[in-house]
Chain A
Amino acid sequence: DTAVSQTPKYLVTQMGNDKSIKCEQNLGHDTMYWYKQDSKKFLKIMFSYNNKELIINETVPNRFSPKSPDKAHLNLHINSLELGDSAVYFCASSRRGVDTEAFFGQGTRLTVV
């Protein structure tokens, strides 16, 4: 059983399109995240949701909109895709609390052409 699963694994799309990446966790965690890994391999937090409520929204273009229908799902919708959006996007989840680790999905490699 995959703990954190995200789909699709690969996504190739043209500039200007709108796309979504889905994420589901079966760990019973309250907190879910979206991270972006750019070409420099830096893993940067984009959003954090706690029990369906947005708690962290780092400086990302408002073309990126997370949606959490329930605490097991956190989807990422991207409007008007740009070349610079090409990256690997990771979903993660964790328990609430200080001494806790995040569990990551396999990543979605987004290529905008």
Chain B
Amino acid sequence: DQQVKQNSPSLSVQEGRISILNCDYTNSMFDYFLWYKKYPAEGPTFLISISSIKDKNEDGRFTVFLNKSAKHLSLHIVPSQPGDSAVYFCAASEGGNQFYFGTGTSLTVIP
């Protein structure tokens, strides 16, 4: 029973354009949402997060949007750079007890 879903396994974007990665969840009790970036043969690294009381959080080129009514969040990367090419995981937690992850979206930024 997967509570966090990323329905797009891959995404290709031209350098300089916007990358939009999407994530859906089913558990309305989730109160904190995170995005992680993963390179091959490395562990996931934290990228950006958002609390359930907010609908947007921005950090440099990265912005996360949360739509609680739709149980949907998205990560926007603008402008996209070749170094952004990686697998991006969406995650959610309830009360900080554990983190539920999606299956990841592989982003390729084409120079």
**In the complex, what distance in Å separates the CA atom of A113 from the CA atom of B107?**
32
Contact with A along B81-111 (1 / 0, CB 8 A): 0000001010101011111110110000000
User: Is the Cβ of A42 less than 8 Å from the Cβ of B96?
Assistant: no
B43: contacting residue among A42, A96, A99, A106, CB under 8 A:
A106
Q: Which residues of A contact B (CB under 8 A)?
A: 4, 33, 35, 40-45, 48, 55-56, 90, 92, 94, 96-107
| Residue pair B32, A99 in contact (C-beta under 8 Å) | yes
Q: Interface with A: B17-25, B45-53, B60-68, which one?
A: B45-53
Q: How far is the CB of B53 from chain A (nearest CB, A)?
A: 10
- Asked whether B70 is an interface residue with its Cβ less than 8 Å from the other chain, the reply is no
Smallest CB separation, B54 vs chain A (Å) = 11
Contact (Cβ within 8 A) B51 A107: no
A106 touches B101 (CB 8 A): no
A-B contact list, 23 entries, CB within 8 Å: A4-B43, A33-B98, A33-B99, A41-B103, A41-B104, A42-B2, A43-B104, A45-B98, A45-B99, A56-B97, A90-B44, A92-B99, A96-B96, A98-B32, A98-B93, A98-B96, A99-B32, A99-B96, A100-B96, A102-B46, A104-B45, A105-B43, A106-B41
Task: Give, as a whole number of angstroms, the nearest-CB distance from A71 to chain B.
Answer: 16
A92 to B89, CA, bound (A): 15
Q: What is the chain B residue whose CB lies nearest that of A105?
A: B43
Alpha-carbon distance A106/B89, docked complex (angstroms): 15
Q: How far is the CA of A6 from the CA of B43 in the complex (A)?
A: 10
**Are the C-beta atoms of A107 and B96 separated by less than 8 Å?**
no
Bound Cα distance from A106 to B42, whole angstroms: 5
